[in-house]
Structure 1
Amino acid sequence: MRFRRAGDVMTADTVRVGPATPVAEVARSLADDGIGGVPVVDDEDRVLGVVTRSDLTRHRGGTEHSGQPAGPSVAGPVATGRATEGPTAGALMSAPAVTVRAVDSIALTGRIMADRDVGRLPVVDEEARLIGIITRRDLLRVFVRPDSDLRDEILDEVVVRALYLDPAPLTVSVADGVVTLRGRLGHAADVSVAVGMAARVDGVVAVVNELTGRHARASG
């Protein structure tokens, strides 16, 4: 049975900047692409940090307080000429960056977002190079799934492919993400396995177990 990973649902075409990128260009990237943050990478695409709208807001507030000209507004126009001096992405970025690996589970990715109170995470490969971005919206697309999709996946992936069971004696119903399993299995041990695997399907809220087993598996 295959569960979704961060690499399955991430956005691969990712905006990125270097540590020497002027703040004006960073602000323009956020505004033009309608995003809340951008990874800062080195020459080998390894993630060094992240610059967010909040970082730019704090920078503007600091320069205004010090009497220096404020940086460009994220939502407004920015200078189009090439910047030669001034703050850079490397100076403003939050570092070290919180990242997830492409092979990390969706559940782990969601916990990291919640624990760190962030709405997006850079996704890296086994060599820590940036390969995508995953957002809360990406996670919602996984977990908010039609009940019919959940039912089909449980029948096909759990019952048939994983447990090698005949689905005919079983009834799988799903309402608002709550799965109800009814029927009689050949072995009592299959009941707990079926319930456990169904509960792990992305998008399942809870499992109501109304399964029974006829007899225990023979040992030895």
Structure 2
Amino acid sequence: MRLWRVDDVMTRDVVAVQTGTPYRAVVDLLISRRVSAVPVVTRFQRVVGIVSEADLMHKVEAAGGEPRLVLGRRRRAEQAKAGARTAGDVMTSPVVTVLPSLSVAAAARRMHQAQVKRLPVEDELGRLIGIVSRGDLLKVHLRIDEDIRRDVVDEILPHALGAPDATVRVETRDGVVTLRGRVHFRSAAERIASLARQVPGVVGVADGLTYDVDDSMMVGSDLGTPFGVA
């Protein structure tokens, strides 16, 4: 089963700026291209920062505001961005980046851990080749039901059972995989359901499989595998 990767969903036609790009030019670029952020790169296309709408809004927020006498570290950083004249002044740095070979699931975890909405994509030499957003990662759930079902039938069942098994019936609707039928071992039934949940585009699994032998306690037995062990 082939897992979806960042390069399956990323935006390749990515627009970038350099540290010396004027603030106004960055604003114009975001509006004209209808994007919410742009990477900041060197002349060798190495990512050194990113400028988002949130970064640019500090100048709008500060317009006409009264200065504070006591400023914390975060407030001082925001005030510095409010006075920015170039992309280098206002950008957020360092930037969390990903390789195109990273799985969509791993990219989603990295995005969540870093609390960011997008990740610049770099090649093996560290050069910008794309950008992946939260919306891009959601594309995996646009897979049609028949493609998802085919993955389960052609990839999951033979792998879990050692051979195709006509006793297992697979239905897919709106990304939900329904499994019905009977297999010999409990471990096989649970492995099928577990692997089905990992198929790209699967929203959920309705596990209706039953089994003849509970091999969960057969440690060391030739009949099956211990419960929870692949």
CA pair 162-64 structure 1, distance change in 2 beyond 3 A = farther
Equivalenced residue count is 201
CA distance in 1, matches of 2:160, 2:11: 30
Aligned to 1:43: 43
Q: TM-score, normalised by structure 1?
A: 0.78
CA distance in 2, matches of 1:10, 1:141: 10
Larger mean Cα displacement after TM superposition, 103-112 or 41-50? 103-112
Q: Is the 8 A contact 2:30 2:37 kept in 1?
A: yes
Report deviation, 1:93: 0.1
Residues 1:206 and 2:189 aligned together: no
Deviations 1:2-54 (A, max 9, x none): 10111221011110111111112211211111000000011221211100112
Gaps of 5+ in 2: 68-83, 216-220, 224-230
Structure 2 residue matching 1:101: 3-state secondary structure:
coil
The one-letter code sitting in structure 2 at the alignment partner of 1:203 is: G
Q: Is the 8 A contact 2:18 2:41 kept in 1?
A: yes
Gaps of 5+ in 1: 68-85
Aligned to 1:19: 19
Aligned to 1:110: 108
CA distance in 1, matches of 2:130, 2:64: 34
Larger mean Cα displacement after TM superposition, 181-190 or 120-129? 181-190
Q: Is the 8 A contact 1:99 1:122 kept in 2?
A: yes
Q: Is the 8 A contact 2:141 2:175 kept in 1?
A: no
CA distance in 1, matches of 2:158, 2:29: 48
Larger mean Cα displacement after TM superposition, 95-104 or 32-41? 95-104
CA distance in 1, matches of 2:11, 2:184: 44
CA distance in 1, matches of 2:40, 2:160: 42
Identity of aligned residues (%): 40
Aligned to 2:163: 165
Deviations 1:66-93 (A, max 9, x none): 89xxxxxxxxxxxxxxxxxx71111110
Larger mean Cα displacement after TM superposition, 87-96 or 170-179? 170-179
Aligned to 1:191: 189
Aligned to 1:8: 8
Larger mean Cα displacement after TM superposition, 204-213 or 14-23? 204-213
Structure 2 residue matching 1:137: 3-state secondary structure:
helix
CA distance in 1, matches of 2:7, 2:17: 21
CA pair 164-42 structure 1, distance change in 2 beyond 3 A = farther
Larger mean Cα displacement after TM superposition, 174-183 or 192-201? 174-183
Q: Is the 8 A contact 2:11 2:131 kept in 1?
A: yes
Q: Is the 8 A contact 1:198 1:204 kept in 2?
A: yes
CA distance in 2, matches of 1:162, 1:126: 35
Aligned to 1:73: none
Q: Give the CA RMSD over aligned residues.
A: 2.7
The one-letter code sitting in structure 1 at the alignment partner of 2:42 is: D
Deviations 1:120-179 (A, max 9, x none): 221122333211111222122212443333212211232247765225322001233332
